[in-house]
C-alpha cells in the first residue's frame, strides 16, 4: 500500500514534527509496517530522520523568487504533486490547525498552500482522510475549502467550533487531538494521578508573555497574573519554571518584567526538583508535560486547542481563557476539597474513553480503503 501524507510543516518545530510523526504512526498502526509512505512538507529536509520519501510542498517549500514564480504558475507548480497523489492508494492530511487565516494576506497564502493541497487531494479521486484538526476561522471566502473537506472520505475535527461548520456532513467526525490521543495512552501508565495530595502545598507556575493584544488588554492580563500569584503565595509555596526561552519567545524575560528574579529551570527539571502537587500553566505544552509526569495541571489557555484538549480529557473546568481569566475561579477550583484527587480520577477515566475513541477512529480509517 502506498500512502501520501500532506500538509507537513517542519520538524524543526517539535509540535509540527510531532503531528507528522503521529500521522505516520496512525498509518502504520492501521495498514502495517510494510506500508510505503511519502511525506509532503514545507521543509522536507527537516524530516531527514524518516526512512520515507520526502517531497517539498508546492509554493510553501520554495524560497525567495522561486516561491513567487510557483505562485504565479500555480497549476504547473502543483502538477508533480498531482502525479504523486494519483499514484497513491490513500492520502492522509496531518492533524493540527493549519487550515485557517486571520488576514487577507494569510488567506492568500492559505489558498496557495494548504487549501490548494486539499483541492489537489480531492481532485485526484484517491481515498482521502484528514486527521483531527481545527478548521477556520477564515478571513475571506471559504465555501470552496469547506466543499473540498465535504468531499473527503473522512475528516476528523478536534473541537466543536470546527464540527459546527459541517453539521450536515456525514463524513466529518469529532475526535480528540492527535497529541491528546497519544497523551491519553501515556497518562494511563502514570499511577501518580490517582494518589494526589488533598490540597496543593507546592505549586509550580509556567507563564508566557501576553499575545499581540491592545495595551489595555495586556495591562489587564498582567494585573490578573500579579493578583493570582499573590493569592497563591498566601496559601502555598510557589515555584516557577519556563517552557520556552527561544528567540522571539523568551518567557524568562516576561518573568523578570513581573519582578520574578528566582532561578527559572525548565519545567521538566522543576518537576523533578520541587515535586509540585499542582502546575498552573499558560502554555499548553507545559500543562501536558505536567500531566505526563503525573501532576494535575490547570491551564490558562490562549487558543482553542487548549480548550479542545481539556474538553477531550473531561476536565474542561480546569481550563480558562487567558484573555480575560477570573482569578477567583482558578483559586476556587484548585483549592476546592480534594480537588486534585478528583481531577486525577476524572482525567484517568476519560483517558480510557479517549483510547476507545482512537479505536473508533482507526475503524473508520480502515473502512475507507476496504
In words, the CATH class of domain 186-352 is alpha beta
The pLDDT, as a whole number, for residue 191 is: 76
Measure the CA–CA gap between 74 and 3, rounded to whole angstroms: 24
The pLDDT, as a whole number, for residue 233 is: 96
Measure the CA–CA gap between 28 and 162, rounded to whole angstroms: 27
| pTM given for the model | 0.75
The pLDDT, as a whole number, for residue 245 is: 52
Digit-coded pLDDT (tens) for 287-346: 888 888 889 999 998 877 788 889 888 999 999 988 778 999 999 999 999 999 999 999
The pLDDT, as a whole number, for residue 77 is: 92
The pLDDT, as a whole number, for residue 14 is: 65
Measure the CA–CA gap between 286 and 280, rounded to whole angstroms: 9
The pLDDT, as a whole number, for residue 250 is: 64
The pLDDT, as a whole number, for residue 339 is: 95
Q: In order along the chain (370 residues), what is the average pLDDT of each group of 10 residues?
A: 94 80 95 95 92 94 88 92 96 94 93 95 97 92 94 92 88 90 86 84 89 78 91 96 61 82 86 94 87 91 83 92 88 96 92 93 91
* CATH 3.40.50.11930 domain extents, the chain: 2-175
Q: How many CB atoms lie within 10 A of CB 327?
A: 18
Residue 147: partners with Cβ closer than 8 Å, 6 or more residues away = none
Whether CATH 3.40.50.10860 fits 2-175: no
Sequence length of the chain is: 370
Locate all alpha helices (DSSP H) within the chain, ordered by sequence: 14-31, 64-72, 74-86, 104-112, 114-123, 143-151, 160-165, 178-187, 215-233, 251-257, 267-274, 284-292, 304-312, 327-334, 339-368
Digit-coded pLDDT (tens) for 154-166: 999 988 889 889 8
What is the 8-class DSSP label of residue 279? E
The pLDDT, as a whole number, for residue 247 is: 42
Give phi and psi for 358, each to the nearest 5: -60, -40
Cell numbers of 147, please? 466543499
Residue 236: partners with Cβ closer than 8 Å, 6 or more residues away = 200, 201, 202, 203, 278
* CATH 3.40.50.2000 domain extents, the chain: 186-352
Amino acid at each position: 500500500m502506498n500512502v501520501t501524507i500532506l500538509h507537513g510543516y517542519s520538524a524543526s518545530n517539535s509540535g509540527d514534527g510531532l503531528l507528522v510523526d503521529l500521522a505516520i504512526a496512525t498509518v502504520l498502526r492501521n495498514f502495517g509496517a510494510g506500508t510505503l509512505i511519502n511525506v509532503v512538507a514545507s521543509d522536507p529536509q527537516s524530516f531527514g530522520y524518516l526512512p520515507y520519501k520526502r517531497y517539498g510542498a508546492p509554493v510553501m517549500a520554495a524560497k525567495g523568487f522561486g516561491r513567487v514564480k510557483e505562485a504565479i504558475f500555480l497549476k504547473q507548480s502543483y502538477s508533480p504533486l498531482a502525479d504523486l497523489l494519483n499514484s497513491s492508494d490513500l492520502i492522509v492530511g496531518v492533524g493540527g490547525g493549519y487550515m485557517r487565516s486571520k488576514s487577507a494576506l494569510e488567506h492568500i497564502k492559505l489558498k496557495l498552500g494548504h487549501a490548494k493541497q486539499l483541492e489537489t487531494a480531492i481532485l485526484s479521486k484517491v481515498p482521502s482522510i484528514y486527521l483531527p484538526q481545527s478548521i477556520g476561522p477564515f478571513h475571506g471566502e471559504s465555501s470552496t475549502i469547506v466543499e473540498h473537506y465535504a468531499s473527503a472520505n473522512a475528516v476528523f475535527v478536534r473541537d466543536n467550533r470546527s464540527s459546527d461548520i459541517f453539521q450536515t456532513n456525514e463524513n466529518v467526525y469529532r475526535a480528540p487531538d492527535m497529541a491528546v490521543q497519544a497523551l491519553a495512552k501515556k497518562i494511563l501508565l502514570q499511577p501518580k494521578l490517582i494518589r494526589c495530595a488533598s490540597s496543593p502545598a507546592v505549586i509550580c507556575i509556567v507563564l508566557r508573555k501576553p499575545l499581540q493584544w491592545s495595551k489595555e488588554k495586556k495591562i489587564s492580563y498582567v494585573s490578573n497574573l500579579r493578583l493570582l500569584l499573590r493569592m497563591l503565595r498566601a496559601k502555598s509555596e510557589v515555584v516557577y519554571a519556563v517552557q520556552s526561552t527561544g528567540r522571539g519567545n523568551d518567557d524568562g524575560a516576561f518573568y523578570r518584567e513581573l519582578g520574578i528574579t528566582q532561578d527559572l529551570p525548565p519545567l521538566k527539571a522543576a518537576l523533578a526538583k520541587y515535586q509540585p502537587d499542582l502546575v498552573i500553566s499558560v502554555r499548553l505544552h507545559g500543562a501536558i508535560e505536567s500531566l505526563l509526569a503525573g501532576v494535575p495541571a490547570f491551564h490558562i489557555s490562549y487558543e482553542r486547542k487548549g480548550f479542545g484538549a481539556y474538553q477531550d480529557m473531561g476536565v474542561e473546568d480546569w481550563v480558562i481563557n487567558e484573555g480575560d481569566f477570573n482569578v477567583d475561579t482558578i483559586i476556587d477550583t484548585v483549592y476546592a476539597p480534594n480537588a486534585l484527587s478528583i481531577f486525577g480520577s476524572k482525567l484517568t477515566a476519560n483517558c480510557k474513553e479517549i483510547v476507545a475513541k482512537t479505536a473508533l477512529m482507526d475503524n473508520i480509517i480502515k473502512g475507507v480503503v476496504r
